Amino acid sequence: MPRASSKKGSSSSTTSASTMDLFRSASGKAASKELDRIDQLFYTYANNLSGLIDPEGIEALCSDLEVKHTDIRILMLAWKMQSEKQGYFTLDEWRKGLKSLRADTLQKLKKALPELEKEVRRPPNFVDFYAYAFRYCLTEEKQKSIDIESICVLLDLVLGSQFRLQVDEFIQYLKIQSDYKVINMDQWMGFYRFCCEISFPDLRNYDPELAWPLVLDNFVDWMTEKHS
């Protein structure tokens, strides 16, 4: 009896192993097909010469997704891919982003955009996205700051829906002041912290003795004078 039982157990193990092998094989084939579809979608928009999706390809993608190329969700898509160069997607970046979104067709990508926006809006993710948005706009090698005009556009796009009043006032200040021609990452991140922490527009809890970037001290002085 023990021998028969042993054989039965062995047979059961073999069957179980075979089932697992079949499952792995099926999963592998499904993943391979998904990747093929993701690649196929990439080459629909990629430039044949560069092998990249370039600004023209991104415009075509936006058109097919029925969103403007200035829509914040396109910047969110770039964040999801961790795209390194503004206006360009590599195949590896595209694969990373679309696999994460489980979007291997245009329709699935279109449906994924609202969920992507919800994901980005979660506070820990948004801080990362906000910093990424600045880095993404550094288009030259060793560039560390962004011109005021571009910063105003970026602020409106990235923070406008959350902190409308703060963004509008800060943009107005940046456009009329003459001390700053560019904004750096420290100032950019400082403004987000300002929006999250400071009572606005009364500014009652703003303490200039704390480590705020000087541009924000100047902004607060301007606001105080304006409303006094």
In this prediction, residue 202 carries a pLDDT of 96
Record the tokens describing residue 25, joined without a space: 């094989």
Q: What are phi and psi of 102, to 5 degrees?
A: 55, 45
In this prediction, residue 206 carries a pLDDT of 98
d(CA 217, CA 211): 10
Record the tokens describing residue 138, joined without a space: 């550094």
Biggest CA-to-CA distance, the chain: 97
**All domains in the chain, ordered by first residue:** 29-120 (1.10.238.10), 125-227 (1.10.238.200)
In this prediction, residue 200 carries a pLDDT of 97
In this prediction, residue 227 carries a pLDDT of 86
- Give the 3-state secondary structure of residue 65: helix
Spatial CB neighbours of 47, under 8 Å, sequence gap ≥ 6: 53, 54, 56, 57
- Give the 3-state secondary structure of residue 50: coil
pLDDT means per 10 residues in the chain (228 residues)? 49 61 62 92 97 97 96 97 97 98 97 97 96 96 96 97 98 97 98 98 95 97 93
In this prediction, residue 204 carries a pLDDT of 96
d(CA 109, CA 46): 16
Q: What is the DSSP string of 162-215?
A: TSHHHHHHHHHHHHH-SS-SEEEHHHHHHHHHHHHHS-TTT-TT--TTSS--HH
State the Rg of the chain over Cα.
Answer: 25
Query: Quick check: 104 and 34 in contact, CB under 8 A?
Result: yes
Query: Quick check: 53 and 68 in contact, CB under 8 A?
Result: no
In this prediction, residue 19 carries a pLDDT of 65
Half-sphere exposure of 145 (CA within 13 A, CB side): 10
Number of C-beta neighbours around residue 201 at 10 A = 13
